[in-house]
A and B are shown apart, each in its own frame.
Chain A
């Protein structure tokens, strides 16, 4: 008589996370769509910058656009500004917005689950692979635009958004920091892409979730929403990097943008994870989408937005639109003083300091019948300054077009010695007059501003 002893076998081991991650990365990078986008991100910005360097006109409606012929660092910032508007949300759509849905389309979920044997690891591997590809895309945009700018224009000083000059080394550091800062909202949009991909299954709406969110937020930016709502939107981080190019740095909007982006990243990723774990994969016809799942995904995000608004309202001095006469006057006077010194250097005039100039500005919106608050193209400011040794006070009039995000373009009108002509004749040739038109940025969360 014989007896067989049966030893219990251990449960099948889960696939190692690094292997699952590499598998997901290979799958992503094998898609022609991703390869095409990667190539575009690494080549197109440089090509764009080189093309612009050979043209007479500049994209002055884009922040830093008017400095594209002055320094290569401005070229990278123009690409950054454009990327923040559309490119980055679209890129996250293409990558993170499809990373789960593609398994539904290919019918490979059960294969993957049997191979990896852990929903947690599948989710982690997909999220990490998406993150790496998104980072590769953003790195490509940054590297290509910087390389193109430096090659086509050169490593020269950069004029900031308050007119102060950054040395090439300072410009390099700040431009890299600006690209790093937009990673936060990019990751927030990528997390929304993951969530859309999990929630909407094989529907193309999942693929479009970050792009649709970006479109919604673009619309929100042109609506007369209160500042606390604007700052609490996940797209705030795509605007806040501009605050790095003022002195002092506009830390309020920057921190708010980073924290809101971080919150959206964590909440959307956690939601995607939980909904993914709840999904039943034994029914191939069902891709996990449904009204209840959709609600489970959107309601927490709506709650997060409400909570963000409440927190921003409580901890910042933000009120109304954030754009008012005192803020504009401070910003314009500072910019003017910095740019006056730049112009003096270009024209070989004796240098003066900002303290000597004692620049001030007086702004009015739309005449006496309109309250001096809010964005609009009807701001009119008179800038006054003192020249050492002269008894008369210089003054210039600027028409300001102020947008809701605090950016403004000031268009000067005399005197002719200061901003009467677009070109100025410098010892090295003809250059754009820095005081003819100038870009500025109001700190919407200026701690000096009074609340209420």
Chain B
């Protein structure tokens, strides 16, 4: 590593008629990094991924991929691969035939096809028509297609969409291995747990702007005070103790609390939460659970994008 960044974008703008999809977006992805792209629907993720794949050209700004400036011709350099809006497979062809056709277009070989099929765990169904594949199998085959050309920059749109836990773990393994070999991976996902597990850095887009770009740890630090669900052995006493804990606020009318009568929701910094636990134990109240209502990464995302939790669902398409 240590060469030129795989992606270097400065002030990228892109509009479709009157609709501004991207407005002054900066993005840096070094080689070997898995970089997450997240944002609510319409934030500009697909547009940005499309620019990285050469499907469109930016209206403004400068975009360099693998050290090459992408001009008006949208000719991205060799070494960029991936998929956008689904893996793009032909159901009437077998898995092997899909990849072999792609290999013939991009200069790959039959052995490359066999290798990537093996890597994504589809070697046993290589000669089955894609028509009968599950969504997860198609996602894995799409990843195999993207890997076929041994890319230096891999652009993936929702690569874990529709995968069962085992398949997801396999895809994660493949992506981290590729990154370890020096491939830069830019992936979008609605699943914050995926991003947390895979990405060293994330960029959060909101209405065409990058509202955050940096390490996941830094994003967590920006998440602020989180709502925590506290389940105890004595709710009334716990509520009194919480009310008497300095710096802690009880959140009324929470959905989760209403569903579970033994739970209350509180908000405060971590030291204050620690103090609450000590006070509860001191008052003879058993603490059965203390968990964030919303995962820290997701909370940071929601705070930065001004999206209401009830309008944002993990895994939405």
Residue of A nearest to B84 (CB): A110
Known: A7-B67, A114-B54. A107 touches B3 (CB 8 A): no
Report which of A32, A115, A284 forms a contact with B105, defined as CB distance below 8 A.
A115
Known: A9-B77, A111-B88, A282-B16. 6 other contacts (CB 8 A): A6-B67, A12-B77, A32-B92, A106-B88, A106-B91, A114-B81
Contact among A9, A22, A31, A110 for B92, CB-based, below 8 A: A31
13 chain-A/chain-B pairs, Cβ below 8 angstroms: A7-B67, A10-B78, A11-B78, A12-B75, A12-B77, A30-B97, A110-B84, A114-B53, A114-B54, A117-B76, A283-B16, A284-B46, A284-B85
Closest Cβ–Cβ distance, residue A125 to chain B (whole Å): 10
What does the 1/0 interface line of A113-139 toward B look like (CB < 8 Å)? Answer: 111110000000000000000000000
Q: Is the beta-carbon distance between A113 and B4 smaller than 8 angstroms?
A: no
A98 to chain B, nearest CB (A): 13
Question: Is there an interface contact between A26 and B50, defined as CB atoms closer than 8 Å?
Answer: no
In the complex, what residues of B have CB within 8 A of residue A4's CB? 2-4
Pairwise interchain contact A108-B93, C-beta atoms closer than 8 A = no
For residue A106, give the distance in angstroms from its CB to the closest CB of chain B. 7
Report if A425 contacts B (CB, 8 A). no
- Interface check A82, CB cutoff 8 A: no
Proximity bits, A18-32, B CB within 8 Å = 1, else 0:
011011001100111
A86 interfacial contact with B, CB 8 Å? no
Which residues of chain B come closer than 8 Å to A31, judged between CB atoms?
92
Q: How far is the CA of A284 from the CA of B50 in the complex (A)?
A: 11
**CA A15 to CA B105, docked complex, whole Å:** 5
| A8 and B88 in contact, given A26-B97, A26-B101 (Cβ under 8 angstroms) | no
User: In the complex, what distance in Å separates the CA atom of A283 from the CA atom of B16?
Assistant: 9
Q: Which residues of A lie under 8 Å from residue B4 when comparing CB positions?
A: 4, 6
Count chain B CB atoms within 10 A of each CB in A12, A16, A19 and give the residue with the most: A12
Residues of A within 8 A of B105 (CB): 15-16, 19-20, 23, 115-116
Q: Provided the pairs A26-B97, A27-B93 are in contact, do residues A107 and B77 lie with their beta carbons within 8 angstroms?
A: no
Interface string of B27-50 (1 = CB under 8 A from A): 000000000000000000011001
Pick the contact of A108 from B47, B79, B80, B90 — CB < 8 Å?
B90
Contact status of A280 and B80, CB under 8 A, knowing A6-B67, A114-B53? no
Which 10 A/B pairs are nearest by Cβ-Cβ distance? A111-B88, A11-B75, A15-B105, A282-B50, A30-B92, A9-B77, A108-B88, A12-B78, A6-B4, A284-B85
Inter-chain contact B54/A117, CB cutoff 8 Å: yes
Contacting residues of chain A (83-113) with chain B, CB-CB under 8 angstroms: 106-113
Query: Which residues of the other chain, A, contact B80 by a CB distance below 8 angstroms?
Result: 12
B89:A111 contact, CB within 8 angstroms: yes
CB distance from A116 to the nearest CB of B (A): 6
- The reply on A349 being an interface residue by CB < 8 A is no
Task: Report the minimum CB–CB distance from B238 to chain A (whole Å).
Answer: 49
Roughly how many angstroms separate A114 CA and B53 CA in the complex, as a whole number?
A: 7
Q: Which residues of A contact B77 (CB under 8 A)?
A: 9-12
A176 to B80, CA, bound (A): 50
Known: A9-B77, A26-B101. Contact between A115 and B106, CB under 8 A?
yes
User: Which residues does chain A contribute within 8 Å of B82, judged by CB atoms?
Assistant: 114
Say yes or no: A22 contacts B104, CB within 8 Å: yes
In the complex, the answer to whether A19 meets B86 with C-beta atoms within 8 Å is no
The answer to whether A108 and B55 touch (CB under 8 A), given A6-B4, A23-B101, is no
The reply to whether B86 and A107 form a contact with Cβ atoms under 8 Å apart is: yes
Query: Given the complex of chains A and B, what is the CA–CA distance between A114 and B65 in angstroms?
Result: 15
Does A292 sit at the interface, judged by CB under 8 A? Answer: no
Interface residues of B in 88-137 (CB under 8 A from A): 88-93, 97, 101-102, 104-107
Name the residue in A22, A23, A32, A282 with the highest tally of chain B Cβ atoms < 10 Å from its Cβ.
A282
Assembly CA distance A19 to B145 (angstroms)? 16
A106 CA to B97 CA, complexed, in Å? 16
Chain A interface size range: 35 or more
Contact A111 B76 (CB under 8 A): no
Report the bound CA distance from A22 to B105 in whole Å: 10
Does B293 sit within 8 A of A, measured CB to CB?
A: no
Contact A30 B90 (CB under 8 A): yes
Within 8 Å of chain A (Cβ to Cβ): is B170? no
Contact B79 A9 (CB under 8 A): yes
Q: How far is the CB of A236 from chain B (nearest CB, A)?
A: 37
- Whether B66 lies near A9 (C-beta < 8 A) is yes
CB distance from A33 to the nearest CB of B (A): 10
Is B87 positioned at the interface, with any CB of A under 8 Å from its CB?
yes
A283 / chain B contacts, CB cutoff of 8 Å = 16
Q: Is B207 an interface residue when CB atoms closer than 8 A count as contact?
A: no
- Residue from B55, B68, B91, B93 within 8 A of A114 (CB atoms): B55
**Closest B residue, CB atoms, query A119:** B74
Q: Is A291 an interface residue (CB 8 A)?
A: no
In the bound complex, residues from chain B placing their C-beta under 8 Å from that of A109 are 88
Whether B67 pairs with A23 at a CB distance below 8 angstroms is no
Nearest to A107 among chain B residues (CB) is B86
One of B47, B76, B85 near A110 (C-beta < 8 A): B85
* Residue numbers in A under 8 Å from B75 (CB-CB): 11-12, 117
Q: Which residue of A lies closest to B50 (CB)?
A: A282
Decide if B78 touches A115 in the complex (CB within 8 Å): no
In the complex, which of the residues B2, B68, B88, B93 contacts A26, with contact meaning CB atoms closer than 8 Å?
Answer: B93
In the complex, which residues of chain B have a beta carbon less than 8 angstroms from the beta carbon of A110?
Answer: 50, 53, 55, 83-85, 88
Check B89 against A108 for contact (C-beta < 8 Å).
Answer: yes
Answer yes or no: B56 CB below 8 A from chain A CBs: yes
**B259 at interface by CB-CB < 8 Å:** no
Q: Are A6 and B55 in contact (CB under 8 A)?
A: no
Q: Is A448 an interface residue (CB 8 A)?
A: no
Using Cβ atoms and an 8 Å threshold, which residues of chain A touch B85? Answer: 107, 110, 284
Contact A115 B83 (CB under 8 A): no
Q: How many Å from the CB of B227 to the closest CB on chain A?
A: 35
User: Taking the nearest CB of chain A, how far is it from the CB of B46, in angstroms?
Assistant: 7
Give the residues in chain B near A6, CB-CB below 8 Å: 3-4, 67
Please measure, in the bound complex, the distance between the C-alpha atom of A115 and the C-alpha atom of B80, giving whole angstroms.
10
- Which B residues are in CB contact (< 8 Å) with A16? 105
